[in-house]
A and B are shown apart, each in its own frame.
Chain A
Amino acid sequence: MTHSKAASIFNKDEKKVNWHDKALWFVRHKRDIAAHTVTGWEELRNLGHGIKAHTLSNLDTYLTQFEENALKNGVQVHWAKDGDEHNRIVHGILKEHNAKKVVKSKSMLTEECHLNPYLEADDIEVIDTDLGERIVQLAKEPPSHIVLPAIHKKKEEVDVLFQEHLGTKPCDGDPQYLTGEARKHLREKFIHADAAITGVNFAVADTGGIVVCTNEGNADMGAHLAPVHIACMGIEKIIPKQEHLGVFLRLLGRSATGQHITTYSSHFKKPREGAKMHIVIVDNGRTEQLSRPDFRASLHCIRCGACMNTCPIYRRSGGHSYDATIPGPIGSILSPGKDLKKHSTLPFASTLCGSCSDVCPVKIDIHSQLYKWRQIITKDTQQPFVKKTSMKMMGNIFAKPTKFEKVGKVARWSLRNLPKSMINSKPNVWGKERDLPLGPKESFDDWYKKRQKNE
């Protein structure tokens, strides 16, 4: 399905779309306030960009160093070429420990690899423990945002969902009550878990340690109680030194939710006494993206979600319309790298306003990369007939001034005089949900000439 088609499904509930739009804009606003309190914020972003660029240019060295140190720390390290191998490795570790009940904290990577269905097929219970993730898991939906997984759900929907699955009382969607019930329900799961899976926000090459950031404390509740902790990371999570965390942790929370830091920034190095710790390092298309000079900077991403919150298209089309694990502007440059055909409409789901690039804490040139994908896609994939023909016609008209003038005259007259039904006819998708302006009587050219004469 094209992005615009999927978006039109989300757009059926106008009230909900308006709420979604405003809620995310509010998060963007909180980000601004937090960022503006930091003297040298732009310098901090430059550092974030620079450190990531440096790291990618030495990626193999830092990965090797990280592995060496992690092994010294008594952590077992695994490597996975793709999602399948990642799933097999995790499954293998769980089997080895006879683990049947697993608690998982937020990890976009395990979403990307579709780990849950893989494990569930072998009767392993996997519980997502981040509240938003638990909500979408119960609803059998994927997350629609990388930081706010259930942002597309209204509280009344959560109410009904919890009544059905957790046996809660009807409460008109009272967030306090529902969160309290989820806390009780998930406490049970933490206490009885055989293994905990977490994501990784940063992996530090010179210590072999990993850092996991949460507000809820779910990653820690899982990892410190279960006998086995499996941390899954993409190869791009590496940073060279511990001191670089100073840069990234200052950027992450503020960009994500406007918090100055997340509640918990947990630094795991060695497994706790009597417990085991595994790290799975995953490629799954990342080295491929690294080979593309125009797009490799997309691997700088620290998954803060700011580009989604600010994007006028994302806010009004919802995360599910992107049909990819990472939605929004950054998803629209990552996804085509994985499957150009499936995701060929995503780089067009943008106004190219550049707001994403302005807020990105690691200064990824998101909107220019979107533009570059468009060039490639228009060349390589079949474009819809109407778009192709109209673009050709427009190109023709723009190339010849006399023709342009004539057509302009007709267009201006038509906009003033033709009935709306004809102007907003079916091929004109711009006319959907919006009116075109009335055509002015004279062209800019005429107006300009007249103005010069009068001067």
Chain B
Amino acid sequence: MSSREHILSKAKENKPEAIALPNIDLEVFKDAKVLSEEFILKVETAGGNVLNATSDKDVIAQINTMFPDTKVNFSTLEGTESFNTVDLNKLEKPHDLENLDVLVLRGDLGVAENGAIWIPDHQIPMRVLPFISKHLVLVIKKETIVPFLHQAYQKLGNTHNDFGVFISGPSKTADIEQSLVIGAHGALSLSVFVQ
């Protein structure tokens, strides 16, 4: 018997009698929090900062004042090509992105309860981008903010992403004596623009 069959047959043999799958009743989680306020609070709790922007151009203008001296920049927002200093089409391998200073991406939705932003494959030209960049800037539309992860997954529903990530705050660690240090392996800072 192959290991596969062995494991499956033992699982079948040893499992308890069928137990019903509970229903998720979203009513029990309802609270009176204001979505946009809660979202800002949670992004900040996670170590990020939230800014307002009127347009994509406005985002870039604000970034230029936030990071005046960065050498390697890349943005996927429309009409912001002049901001870009790298041409992804000319990259041979993702490793060449090692010096990326600022990356600007659009997120599909934000989650108020934890400040997480959903970044699926189709928003990232290369999967490693949001992790390898020194500074990460995410842009979302205000009306895409949902209260809880439950609604986020409802929205994702059948959109079949090959890869996707919820990002909440910059990378961090507290592995040395529980002191929080922002900037572990991923981004050193996270700015979120709400349009």
Name A residues whose Cβ lies closer than 8 Å to a Cβ of B: 23, 26-27, 38-40, 43-44, 46-47, 50-51, 53-54, 56-60, 63-64, 73, 79-81, 85, 129-132, 135, 148-151, 153-155, 158, 173, 175-176, 178-180, 183, 186-187, 190-191, 207, 215-218, 220-221, 224-225, 235, 240, 242-243, 245-247, 249-250, 253, 257, 259-270, 272, 281, 283, 287-288, 290-291, 293, 296
Cβ–Cβ contact A215 & B172, under 8 A = yes
A150 neighbours in B (Cβ, 8 Å): 175-176
Cβ–Cβ contact B18 & A58, under 8 A = yes
Q: Mark B70-113, 1 if CB is under 8 A from A, else 0.
A: 00000000000000000000000011001000000000000101
Q: 10 tightest CB-CB pairs across the interface, nearest first?
A: A217-B186, A216-B184, A132-B175, A260-B114, A50-B22, A224-B128, A291-B14, A287-B10, A270-B162, A261-B114
B175 neighbours in A (Cβ, 8 Å): 130-132, 135, 148-150, 179
B137 within 8 A of A: no
Rounded to whole angstroms, the CA-CA distance of A175 and B154 in the bound complex is 40
A57 neighbours in B (Cβ, 8 Å): 15-19
B132 within 8 A of A: yes
Cβ–Cβ contact B163 & A269, under 8 A = yes
B69 within 8 A of A: no
A53 neighbours in B (Cβ, 8 Å): 16, 19
Rounded to whole angstroms, the CA-CA distance of A29 and B19 in the bound complex is 34
Cβ–Cβ contact B165 & A220, under 8 A = yes
Cβ–Cβ contact B160 & A154, under 8 A = no
Cβ–Cβ contact A245 & B153, under 8 A = yes
Prevailing SS type, chain A contact patch: helix
Cβ–Cβ contact A263 & B162, under 8 A = no
In the complex, how many angstroms separate the beta carbon of A362 from the nearest chain B beta carbon?
Answer: 12
Cβ–Cβ contact A265 & B14, under 8 A = no
In the complex, how many angstroms separate the beta carbon of B3 from the nearest chain A beta carbon?
Answer: 4
Cβ–Cβ contact A264 & B186, under 8 A = yes
Rounded to whole angstroms, the CA-CA distance of A242 and B166 in the bound complex is 14
B14 neighbours in A (Cβ, 8 Å): 287-288, 290-291
A245 neighbours in B (Cβ, 8 Å): 149, 153
Cβ–Cβ contact B163 & A268, under 8 A = yes
With A81-B7, A217-B184, A242-B153 already in contact, the answer to whether A267 and B29 are too (CB < 8 A) is no
